Chains A and B, each alone.
Chain A
Amino acid sequence: MAGIEKVPAPRSGAHTVIGSSIVIDGEISGDEDLVIQGTVKGRISLRESLFVEGSGVIEADIETANVEVSGQVTGNIAASDKVELKADCKVVGDIRAPRILIADGALFKGNVDMDVKETKGK
């Protein structure tokens, strides 16, 4: 296991890949990591990590454990663990997660809520 974090190589463990020419209009749910290089509209709910790569375009509400965005996301993101907006990503929507990282160069418009555990009852 060569563990260089920022290279896409470690994602070989991901079982599901939505390739760059794929367009999905609807709902995706599952219990495993998901890599998106194509376009998804609708809703995504996972119990693991979601990776939106540079070519990925998402117009959907997202509910997962982890999200890593290098592409474009329009929609609300709710993560139980972490949301990471990488450089060159474009995100429009609200983010709710205990840990939120926004890298230099990322474009983001929306509300951020890191107070997830306390306000869970609301």
Chain B
Amino acid sequence: MATIDGSTIIGESILISGSLNGDEDLTVRGRVEGTLTLTKTLVVEPTGVVKAEVQVKNCVIAGAIVGNVTATESVEITKEGRMVGDINAPRVIIVDGASFRGRIDMGEVDVEAERETRAVARVAAPAPARPTLRPAARPAPAKAAEPRHAEETVVAAKPPAPPAPVAMGAVKRKVIVKRK
């Protein structure tokens, strides 16, 4: 019975209201209301509905979540996923077809350092793969730091770094909300 140890499943007809804490993976096919705190991964399957303040390590949403989600690692909304609420996680993945309304906070992004890193990278090599995961943690490539390019680096730093597409979506929605 390997499926039974170390993983919890909330079946389709089950409703849990209150607080749920745990140190193992949790799969929700039914409903959970209240607060949900895990040190591992929460998977909300297509039939699952979570109306709760969620605090987890990883969160995969294929069902519905209403409430704020704080993840220490990542939040992924799959193409069947629906979510209303704010996300706070260093990595947020929203795929085509997912529906989401709310704010996203991926943590402190050092914009200045980011610009320099990108500008230097642009001088060194044209448009490297966008560091979507943890941009701030990426050090400048060593071979780009040639002194005679200092002037050029400053010029190149002027255009603002384009924000990640996810963040753009979030800002756009926020503006719409404010207009009302």
Say whether A associates with B: yes
Residues of chain B in range 1-52 having any CB-CB distance to chain A below 8 Å:
1, 3-24, 26, 29-30, 34
Q: Contact at A16–B18, with CB atoms within 8 Å?
A: no
- Does any Cβ of B come within 8 Å of A118's Cβ? no
- Residues in B neighbouring A8, C-beta threshold 8 A: 1, 4
Q: In the complex, what distance in Å separates the CA atom of A19 from the CA atom of B116?
A: 48
The reply to whether A17 and B8 form a contact with Cβ atoms under 8 Å apart is: yes
- The answer on a CB contact under 8 Å between A22 and B24 is yes
Q: Do A19 and B8 touch across chains, with their CB atoms under 8 A apart?
A: yes
In the bound complex, what is the Cα–Cα distance between A42 and B34 (angstroms)? Answer: 13
- Return A2 CB to nearest CB of chain B, in Å: 12
Those of A27-54 within 8 Å (CB) of chain B:
27-35, 37-38, 42
Give A26 to B32 CA distance when docked, in angstroms.
10
- Measured between beta carbons, the chain B residues less than 8 angstroms from A28 are 14-16
CB-CB under 8 A for A23 and B21, given A16-B11, A28-B14, A32-B13:
yes
CA of A20 to CA of B26, assembled, Å: 12
Q: Is B18 a contact partner of A22 (Cβ separation < 8 A)? A: no
Cβ 8 A contact of B11, one of A11, A20, A32: A32
Q: B11, A15: Cβ atoms under 8 Å?
A: yes
Give the distance to chain A from B42, nearest Cβ to Cβ, in Å.
12
Chain B proximity mask over A65-103: 1 for CB below 8 Å, otherwise 0: 000000000000000000000000000000000000000
The size of the chain A interface, using a CB distance under 8 A, is: 29
Contact A22 B22 (CB under 8 A): yes
Bound-state Cα–Cα, A26 to B19, Å:
6
Name the distance in Å between A91's Cβ and chain B's nearest Cβ.
22
**Which B residue sits closest to A16, measured CB to CB?**
B11
- Chain B residue contacts of A1, Cβ below 8 A: none
> Would you call B26 and A22 a contact (CB within 8 A)?
yes
Among B8, B14, B18, point to the contact of A38 (Cβ < 8 A). Answer: B8
In the docked arrangement, what's the CA distance between A24 and B8, Å? 12
Bound-complex Cα distance A19 to B7 (A): 6
Contacts of A115 in B (CB 8 A): none
Q: Known pairs A19-B24, A22-B21, A42-B18. 13 more at Cβ < 8 A? A: A11-B1, A12-B1, A12-B3, A12-B4, A15-B13, A15-B29, A16-B30, A23-B19, A24-B20, A31-B13, A32-B11, A34-B11, A35-B4
For the complex of A and B, list the 9 residue pairs with the smallest distance between their C-beta atoms, beginning with the closest. Answer: A26-B18, A15-B11, A30-B14, A16-B11, A22-B22, A19-B8, A21-B23, A31-B13, A23-B21
